Each structure stands twice: as C-alpha cells, then as structure tokens.
Amino acid sequence: MLFACPLLIKIVQSHKRLNQFSLGVLLFLELVTLASSQNCPVNCMCTSTDVKCINQGFTAVPKHLPEHVKDLFISGNNISRLSVDSFPDLLNQLTDLHLTGDKIEQVEPNTFSNLPSLRLLDISNNRLLSFSPEAFFVNNNLQELNLSRSLYNYSYINEISNLLQNGTSRLSRLDLSHNDLLYLPENIFSNLWNLSRLDLRNNSLVSIRNGTLRNLHLQKLDLRENSLRELRNSTLAELSLQQGIWLGGNPWNCDCIEDLVLWLGRAEQVMDRQELVCAEPERLRQVRLLQVNRTELQCTFSDDMKGVLETSYVFLGMVLALIGVIFLFVLYLNRKGIKRWMYNIRDACRDHMEGYHYRYEINSDPRLANLSLNSDV
C-alpha cells in the first residue's frame, strides 16, 4: 500500500478546491482499485468487476479469481480440458464468461457448477470433442451460448444436440455459425422454448428436416451462406412462424421452386428476399427468385408430391408382394387337389391326342380305311 501514497498526495493536491465529500469518493475508488489488483491472478488484468487473462499461455483456468468478478475473459490460451477443478471457488456474481480461442476439447460434468449466476458463455473458436450436458447445474440461468467455430468437425454436432436437449433449457440466443454443419439432428431445438435468436450462418446445411424448427418463435433466424437448394413445404410452414429470416448466399435450384417463390412473395419476414438469386439451371443463373417466370419451371410435381408418389409406389409394391404370398400359401394348402387336377388334365389330353393319332393312321392307310368302312357296314 506504500506505493499508493504519492498518488494519493497528488490527488489531494490537484483537488484542493473540491469539497470533502468529492475528495472522499476519489480516495474510496482508488482504494477499491488497489484492493482488487491485489487479488488479481498473475499475468491478468483486473478492475473492480472485470478480469482479463488474454494470450498468456495458460494451460488451466487461473486460480484465486476475485470473488466480485462479473465479466471474465480467458482467451487465446492452451486450455484443452475444463473440469470441476477449473472453477473451484464459488463466484456468485460472475455473469459473463468468455473462453474463446483456448483450444478447448473437453467440457466435463460440473464444470460450471460454482457459477450460479452465469448468463453468457462464449466458447467460440475452439475444437470441442465432447461437452457434457451436466456441465451446468440443474435449473441454470444460461441465456446466451456462443459455439461459433467451436466444433472439431461437423460430426460432433450430436454432442451439442445432447447438450441443448438436456442442459440449457433457458437459452434465448444460440450461435452455431462457421461449423461446417451438414445437417441438424432431429429435435435439436425441441427443449429451447425461450430461444429467440439462432445463428446458423456459414455452414454446409443442404436441407432443414421436418420438425427441426417446430415450436420455435424466433426473432432472428440466420441461414445465410449454407448449401440450401430448396425448401420443403413443411419447412416453409415452420419458417412462417419466425419473425426475422435471412436466406442469402445459398445455391438455389430454380427448376422446381414454385412453392418457394409463392411463399417468398408473401413472406415479409424474409429480410433479404429481394437479394435471393438462382444458382441452377444455367438459363436462370443470377436471376432473382422473385423474378422467376413460372412458365420457365420444368418441375411437374412439387418436392412434397414426389415424396407422396414415392411412398405410394412403395406401398403398392408391398400390397402386390402380400397378394403374391397369400396366393402361394393357398396353392400350398391345396397342393394335393391341384396335383390330382393336373393329373386329370394330363390324362384327358393324352386320350384326346390318342384319338387324333388313331384317326390320322386310318386316314393315311387306304386298306385300314376300307376295313373301317366294311366294319361299319
């Protein structure tokens, strides 16, 4: 505390004209700053409510964090694993936690159990292999989760799906952008009743499965820069329930998008609908979707109708196969009668053929013919 005396003397000298109350406030703030700096982890920067440990090469979360910290930044380090030992002290006032660019691969159970007020978790720019749904305590208050550029590869989306369905029911904002996702698991958002903003930009999504957006009422849904070529009618119905949608930067196939074009014409919630352009076929490339002439479309059936027809063909094949099985079963049950019937037909055919053969021999031999006439006489 001795090094603070010259600073305090300067403050007193420079504020001689201030009343005693103002001078007391300045002294109090200076003492608070000095006290907080004494509890600051090594190689970190601290204020009364913020702690920043950035690009210091930490291999674990620094220990003995100030108990009054509200915003904690631990970024650009080499922390591969987060566990219950990462935050051993109870931090009741910590609301915002930033763990960006730390090369995190694993988040184990009870990692954030000592952070009861945690509202925002930014764990972007990492390489997650596993994220336990039990990392947060039951009935946690997490409202914002940033997982942008956080997955090791797209196949680990199932880990995140399990987390979202079991550990973060109060989320209002979710960022899954820049993860090269090819698909979204079924019911991935089914338990996020409060979700209002969903960012799926810059992935490789080729379709939105039926029911993926069911029960969601988003204020913002960002699907820009994916690989969407068309949207099913069932997906369009789910999108109609959202308030703000962005769809730009997708390679739309304009050969069979009549339903999509009609929907866009009345979907004012699509903020960039005037900017959507065709990528295929060649004759319609760079043509705006809202300007596509319906007479140029070569699609006979809508995508949903194709699905119905395919289902009908499968059902018809199953019915015919069932009829065939029943027919063969009936033949098997009557195999003796059928065998006897076949023998009767064979014998009848043999007698008939012998009669024809006898008549042929008589007609071909004149002597037999005369003998036959004499016998008749």
Q: Is residue 104 part of a domain?
A: yes
Claim to verify: residue 334 and residue 201 sit in the same structural domain: no
Predicted confidence (pLDDT) at residue 134 exceeds the cutoff of 90: yes
Higher-confidence residue of 363 and 228: namely 228
Q: What are 12's strand-pairing partners?
A: none
Q: How far is CA 107 from the centre of its chain?
A: 20
What total number of domains does the chain contain? 2
Give domain status of residue 331, yes or no: yes
357 falls within a domain: no
The 3-class secondary structure across the chain, one letter per residue, is CCCHHHHHHHHHHHCCCCCHHHHHHHHHHHHHHHHHHHCCCCCCEECCCEEEEECCCCCCCCCCCCCCCCEEEEECCCCCEECCCCCCCCCCCCCEEECCCCCCCEECCCCCCCCCCCCEEECCCCCECEECHHHCCCCCCCCEEECCCCECCHHHHHHHHHHHHHCCCCCCEEECCCCCCCCCCCCCCCCCCCCCEEECCCCCCCCCCCCCCCCCCCCEEECCCCCCCCCCHHHHHHHCCCCCEECCCCCEECCCCHHHHHHHHHCCCECCHHHCEEEECHHHCCCEHHHCCHHHCCCCCCHHHHHHHHHHHHHHHHHHHHHHHHHHHHHHHCHHHHHHHHHHHHHHHHHHHHHHHHHHHHHHCHHHHHHHHHHHC
CATH of the domain at 170: 3.80.10.10
End-to-end CA distance of the chain: 155
Q: Which two tokens stand for residue 342?
A: 């076949």
Same domain, 174 and 279: yes
CA distance 124 to 118: 16
Q: Mean pLDDT for the chain?
A: 84
pLDDT value at residue 256: 77
In a domain, 367, yes or no: no
Q: What is the pLDDT of residue 30?
A: 47
| pLDDT value for 375 | 52
Do residue 57 and residue 150 come from a single domain? yes
Residue 206's domain spans which residues? 33-307
Residues 78 and 105 in one domain: yes
Q: In terms of domains, do 190 and 333 share one?
A: no
Alpha-carbon distance 192 to 173, whole Å? 10
Residue 20 has what pLDDT? 56
When mean pLDDT is compared across 160-169, 174-183, 307-316, 321-330, the lowest value belongs to: 307-316
Averaged pLDDT for residues 322-340: 84
Minimum mean pLDDT among 18-27, 162-171, 273-282: which range?
A: 18-27
Report yes or no on 13 lying in a domain. no
**Are 155 and 115 members of one domain?**
yes
> Mean pLDDT across the stretch 199-228?
93
Question: 305-344 burial, b if ≥16 CB within 10 A, otherwise e?
Answer: eeeeeeeeeeeeeeeeeeeeeeeeeeeeeeeeeeeeeeee
Please give the structure tokens belonging to residue 318. 């199953």
> pLDDT tens across 99-121, in order?
999 999 999 999 999 999 999 99
Q: Could you tell me the pLDDT band of residue 258, with boundaries at 50, 70 and 90?
A: confident
CA neighbor of 254 nearest in space, from 293, 224, 222, 225: 293
Per-residue pLDDT at 156 exceeds 70? yes
> Cβ neighbours of residue 20 under 8 Å, at least 6 residues apart?
none
**Between residues 351 and 112, which one has the greater pLDDT?**
112
Tell me: the pLDDT tens digits for 167-208? 899 999 999 999 999 999 988 999 999 999 999 999 999 999
- Residue range 138-153, pLDDT digits in tens: 889 999 999 999 999 9
Write out pLDDT tens, residues 25-60: 444 444 444 444 457 999 999 999 999 999 999 999
Would you call 82 exposed, middle or buried from its count of C-beta atoms within 10 A (0-12, 13-18, 19+)?
A: buried
Confidence of residue 304 (pLDDT cuts 50, 70, 90): low
Output the pLDDT for position 177: 97
Is residue 61 domain-shared with residue 200, that is, in the same domain? yes
pLDDT value of residue 316: 87
Q: How confident is the model at residue 160 (pLDDT cuts 50, 70, 90)?
A: very high
Q: Cα dihedral sign for 124, 129, 135, 140?
A: positive
Same-domain status, 207 and 333: no
Q: In degrees rounded to 5, what are phi and psi of residue 181?
A: -70, 135
| pTM of this structure | 0.71
Whole-angstrom distance, CA of residue 204 vs CA of residue 223 = 10
More confident residue, 159 or 366: 159
Whether 21 is in a domain gets the answer no
Are 211 and 301 in a shared domain?
yes
Q: Which residue has the higher pLDDT, 317 or 374?
A: 317
How large is the average pLDDT for residues 283-311? 72
Domain shared by 316 and 195, yes or no: no
Instruction: State the average pLDDT over residues 317-333.
Output: 88
Per-residue H/E/C for 2-64 = CCHHHHHHHHHHHCCCCCHHHHHHHHHHHHHHHHHHHCCCCCCEECCCEEEEECCCCCCCCCC
Q: Identify the residue with better confidence: 373 or 335.
A: 335
Give a yes or no: residue 107 inside a domain: yes
303 pLDDT higher than 70: no
**What pLDDT sits at residue 12?**
42
Same domain, yes or no: 133 and 53: yes
Residues 303 and 316 in one domain: no
Does residue 151 lie in a domain region?
A: yes
Measure Cα distances from 372 to 136, 244, 297, 356, 364 in Å. 112, 105, 83, 16, 12
Residue 319 has pLDDT above 50, yes or no: yes
